[in-house]
Amino acid sequence: MSRTGPGGPIEPATEASIERAARVLLAGGLVALPTETVYGLGADAAQRDAVDLIYATKGRPPGHPLIVHVPDVAQGRRWARFDARAERLAAAFWPGPLTLVLPRADGAPAWACGGQSSVGLRCPSHPVARALLERFVALGGSGVAAPSANRFGRVSPTRAEHVVDDLGEASPMVLDGGAAEVGVESTIVDLTRGHPVLLRPGRIGRDAIEAVLGEPVADRDAEAPRASGTLAAHYQPATPVELLGAGAIGARAAAIGAAAVAVWACEPPAIAVGHWVRAAADPAGREAELYAVLRRLDRLGLQRILVEAPPPGIEWAALRDRLERASHPA
């Protein structure tokens, strides 16, 4: 039995529903699929009309490249040229939350690349995503373009229900794989130039990547290719978000009007507010709950969401990145 929200159906991930989903993709349709990071809005990356449908459904500007999901390196080579660095990183972190931006292979379709000569590739570890990709390839497909399954610039979905909540009547078939384990988007590393560059932080940290490569990973610069989720304002709920030190939250809530404020922090604020959610003390825990909490607080219809800034340190880099973009003036 499928559950139907205000948009499309949410289907339990079974062998039969995965088979149907693979055939929908091959026919040029969309499928929302779970990954270990967030839910993706998937289409056959080799079909231009299917990729265009992703952009139209999300309201995503056409120059923003997508990430192509593949089941293994063998399929990845159909899309991109792998050098020694890419081989090492794929061997260490695939399947997993790492996207590699690589030179696009000769003859590889360009529809998902935002007009660039590079392509972002990822091999997800979620068992439902893997089963779908493997069946898709077995039926003749190769790669599935799958940005987050939400309206462009909004909060990413980490549960099946979030997809339907966000896309409404435009929601396609949604394979329910439970809550996303990681909860923030993949780390993105650019390997199209003479040195590796970190385009977006994620669960796989810079230190782990440098340990595998045996060389430093540079920060994003003006020459870097465009990549998903790197706009200054992104991952934003409708309610404005402010990022503050723990000690400043009470005073800021009082200035706004405490009853009109929701707070996500490790400890309750000094004054009573409209709503408070305790934040996990560890980076992985806080990443996993980030988007679900932002959605929950957004639904309250309050005036402002005040969020405790994460501590310094590379282990908090992904969370800090998402919160800075979520709180950036739109």
pLDDT digits (tens, 9 = 90+) for 16-33: 999 999 999 999 999 999
Q: Where do we find the tokens 């399947």?
A: 95
**What is the per-residue pLDDT for 120?**
97
CA separation for the pair 11, 177 (Å, rounded): 9
Give the CA dihedral 107, 108, 114, 116, nearest 10 degrees.
Answer: -60
**In this model, does residue 231 exceed pLDDT 90?**
no
Measured CA to CA, the distance from residue 39 to residue 315 in angstroms comes to 23
Gap between the Cα atoms of 70 and 133, Å rounded:
7
Give tens-digit pLDDT for 49-69.
999 999 999 999 888 899 999
Q: What pLDDT is recorded for position 271? A: 95
Mean pLDDT throughout 243-267?
97
DSSP 90: H
In sequence order, which residues have a C-beta less than 8 Å from that of residue 122 and are 6 or more positions away? 67, 68, 69, 70, 94, 97, 98, 99, 100, 186
* CA–CA dist 32, 35 (Å, integer): 10
CA angle (141, 143, 148) in 5-degree steps: 130
| 330: confidence class by pLDDT, cuts 50, 70, 90 | confident
Query: Can you list the domains of the chain with their CATH numbers?
Result: 3-219 (3.90.870.10), 241-326 (3.40.50)
Give the residue from 136, 153, 149 showing the smallest Cα distance to 241: 153
Segment 75-112, tens digit of pLDDT: 999 999 999 999 999 999 999 999 999 999 999 999 99
Tokens of 159: 């549960």
Calculate what percentage of the chain has a pLDDT beyond 90. 89
Q: How does pLDDT run across 31-47, given as a tens digit for each residue?
A: 999 999 999 999 999 99
| pLDDT, tens digit, 9 for 90 and up, residues 117-151 | 999 999 999 999 999 999 999 999 999 999 999 99
Among candidate residues 57, 26, 28, 27, the one with its CA nearest the CA of residue 41 = 57
Specify the pLDDT at position 245.
97
One-letter identity of residue 306 = L
pLDDT on residue 63: 83
How large is the average pLDDT for residues 212-241? 90
Q: Tell me the average pLDDT across 154-181.
A: 96
Mean pLDDT score across all residues of the chain? 95
- What values do phi and psi take at 43, rounded to 5? -150, 160
- pTM for the model: 0.95
Predicted pLDDT of residue 2: 46
Report whether pLDDT(278) > 60: yes
What is the mean predicted confidence (pLDDT) over 301-329? 96
> What confidence score (pLDDT) does residue 4 get?
53
